[in-house]
Chains A and B, each alone.
Chain A
């Protein structure tokens, strides 16, 4: 276990990590993020963006009939 992981998993009572935990930050997510290399973090971010785009596309599909059937686009 790295020093950073130790600090995140057992924060000093009056430190910034404890303050973040109390604010609602999920420290276990930070532990996982710090186990990744910067390049892996960037690729994870890219994957999150792509997932968001898929969700957004699905939401459009669900709410807009024209998205479901292009042949009806523009018809009221």
Chain B
């Protein structure tokens, strides 16, 4: 189980550039569906990879589901050579995504995000519009099941005059 507050503040205090995506983003927008990990889209700028590697080192990231003893070095080089990482950490399960299907890489994801204040800090959260695009593009059964609720939330919160 991920400890959401602790890991978000850990990354924010290290000035890591990331956007909250996936089920946690949906929940922040009002979704009633639960999720059990945290999905983040991260900037692949070199300085950000270094900050990310340093910040998470303290919570011992390892590849989730990998065989015991499989060598895994957590550093900026590993981040540079990969894109998406499904990690287990001492603070819970964390997915780091270099891009989001239907939205794009971090620069596009950041543009498609809204700023939300949590625990006294501002966090970038993928917008409802972009979440819907991502889930439509991913098109897995679990994504498609969540679409009616997300679209209802979008309509409910639309500014007057929008549908």
Contact = CB atoms under 8 A, between A and B. Distances in A.
B156 A46 contact: no
A53 B148 contact: no
- Among all A-B residue pairs, the 4 with the closest Cβ atoms: A20-B152, A16-B151, A20-B148, A23-B148
Interface of A: 3-5, 7-8, 15-17, 19-21, 23, 25-27, 29-30, 33-34, 38-39, 41-46, 48-50, 52-53
24 contacts: A3-B160, A4-B156, A8-B156, A17-B155, A17-B156, A19-B148, A19-B151, A30-B30, A30-B32, A30-B156, A33-B31, A34-B156, A34-B157, A38-B116, A39-B117, A39-B119, A42-B4, A42-B28, A44-B27, A45-B4, A45-B27, A45-B35, A49-B2, A52-B34
Interface residues of B, number: 30
A15 B118 contact: no
B163 interface: yes
Most chain A CB within a 10 A radius of its CB, from B5, B30, B148: B30
Given A7-B155, A8-B156, A38 B149 contact: no
